[in-house]
Amino acid sequence: MGAVFILSVAAWFSAKRIPGWWRALRAATWPIAEGRVEDCTVTTFAEQSLGELAYSYSVEGERYSGYFHQQFAAEQDAWEYIDALKGQGVFVRYKVGSPEVSAIRIDDQRPQFSSRKPLPIRLLRHAIEQLIGVSDLHFPSLLGAKYWALCKGKVESTTVTRRRERNLFYMGYYVCEMSYSYIVAGEYYSGQFERICLRENSARLVASNWKDRNIYVRYREDAPNISTLRNQDQPSQYSA
């Protein structure tokens, strides 16, 4: 259910980008003006994020502004991407006769505008993370986490919170957040894990199944502070 929900939110964010995408497609033959990224914001819902770049440009001495949107499969990806672009110069396409109508085309920009993996790959990564119960993991590591070292740990706390997103008509959903601890070579480490549920009962069932439980943690031997939980490593009664 979590993976389907996340993909549904991703589809919603994609739909919001259609007007800008269509304008950028038509702008291929429009003249180019130099502009600058003035501000950046990120809207996040159910682990999907929509980054917004506010930019300005000048045509014949008049100053105009516009917005450019990019979709991300994680909030951290969004901030890493747009933080690097804030204050940077951009090339803006504007419509002849209506210079207030503009678009940013990726093909016109410097490499940092398109240095990320394609969105479908990033969405697939996060859908798989939700499906097998792995969070905050880069895709290459996701495939190899089953070969990481295994140690015992414990779920220290669980909380269930309800979240709402005004950009999705205040749609509500529930998140079960779990904090866990584990020890490697006498050193104490901690991690966090979460599950997204559409119903409160489902989220509370997940919380009750995991609360105060002894668990098995996968960690990287070369960086034991990096860890994850895999459903396959846990007793079957922990699943919900």
Give the number of other CB atoms < 10 A from CB of residue 143.
12
Residues 35/28, Cβ–Cβ less than 8 Å? no
196 DSSP β-pair partners: 175
- Distances, alpha carbon 214 to alpha carbons 18, 61, 132, 135, 191, in Å: 47, 67, 19, 19, 14
Q: How far apart are CA 12 and CA 18, in angstroms?
A: 10
* Structure confidence by residue, pLDDT tens digits, 162-200: 877 554 445 677 888 899 999 999 999 999 888 877 788
Question: DSSP strand E in 46-97: where?
Answer: 48-59, 62-72, 89-95
Torsion, Cα of 31, 34, 36, 41 (10° steps)? 20
* Structure confidence by residue, pLDDT tens digits, 36-76: 999 988 877 656 677 888 999 999 999 999 998 887 766 77
* Structure confidence by residue, pLDDT tens digits, 149-163: 889 999 999 999 887
Residue from 35, 19, 27 nearest 107 by CA:
27
Hey, where are the domains in the chain?
2-119, 134-238
